[in-house]
A = this chain, B = another copy of it.
Amino acid sequence: MEFVENAVGRLIPVEIEGRKLKPFAGAFADNGGGRKASPLIPVTKPGQEKLCSIKESIEKSGLKDGMTISFHHHLRDGDYVVNMTVDEIARIGIKDLTLAPSALFPCHKPLIEHIKNGVITKIEGSMNGPVGEYVSYGGLPKLAVLRTHGGRARAIEDGDLHIDVAFLAASSADDYGNANGVDGISAFGPMAYGYADAMYADKVVIVTDDLVPYPCAPCTIAATHVDYVVVVDKIGDPERIVSGTTRITRSPTRLLIAKYAAQFIQESGYLKDGFSFQTGAGGISLAVTKILGEIMIEEGIKGSFINGGLSSYAVELYKKGLFHVLYDGQVFDRGVIESFRNDVKHIETPMTMYANYHSKGCLVNRLDVGFLGATEVDVDFNVNVNTHSDGLLLHGIGGHPDVAAGCKLSLITIPSYRKRIPVVREKVTTVTAPGETIDAIVTERGIAINPRRVDLIDRLKKSDLPIVTIEKLKDRVEKITGKPEPPRLKDRVIALIEYRDGTIIDVVREVEK
Spell out A's residues near B (CB within 8 Å). Answer: 28, 30-48, 50, 158, 176-177, 204, 213-215, 217-219, 222-227, 274, 304-305, 325, 327, 341-342, 344-345, 347, 352-353, 356-363, 365-366, 405-408
Contact = CB atoms under 8 A, between A and B. Distances in A.
Q: Which 10 A-B pairs have the closest CB atoms?
A: A35-B38, A44-B361, A224-B359, A32-B43, A46-B365, A32-B41, A217-B325, A223-B361, A36-B38, A222-B353
Contact of A363 (B215, B362, B405): B215
B36 A215 contact: no
B356 A224 contact: yes
Contacts of A44: 359-361, 365
A176 B32 CA distance: 19
28 contacts: A28-B45, A32-B40, A33-B41, A34-B40, A34-B41, A35-B38, A36-B39, A38-B38, A41-B158, A42-B360, A43-B357, A43-B358, A44-B360, A45-B365, A46-B366, A47-B365, A48-B365, A177-B361, A214-B366, A215-B304, A215-B325, A215-B366, A223-B360, A223-B361, A223-B363, A224-B356, A224-B360, A225-B360
Given A215-B327, A224-B361, A39 B35 contact: yes
Given A215-B327, A342-B344, A36 B40 contact: yes
B38 A225 contact: no
**Copies of this chain in its oligomeric complex:** 2
B353 A224 contact: yes
Nearest to A362: B224
Contacts of A33: 41
A226 B222 CA distance: 23
Nearest to A218: B347
A488 B40 CA distance: 44
Nearest to A153: B224
A41 B158 CA distance: 7
A37 B38 CA distance: 6
Most chain B CB inside 10 Å of its own CB: which residue of A30, A47, A363: A363
Contacts of A345: 217-218
A31 B30 CA distance: 39
A352 B360 CA distance: 22
B45 A360 contact: no
A236 to B, nearest CB: 24
Contacts of A217: 305, 325, 327, 345, 347
A30 B42 CA distance: 10
Given A30-B43, A43-B32, A46-B405, A213 B362 contact: no
Contacts of A408: 46
A31 B44 CA distance: 9
Given A36-B38, A46-B407, 7 more contacts: A32-B41, A35-B38, A43-B359, A46-B405, A215-B363, A223-B361, A223-B363
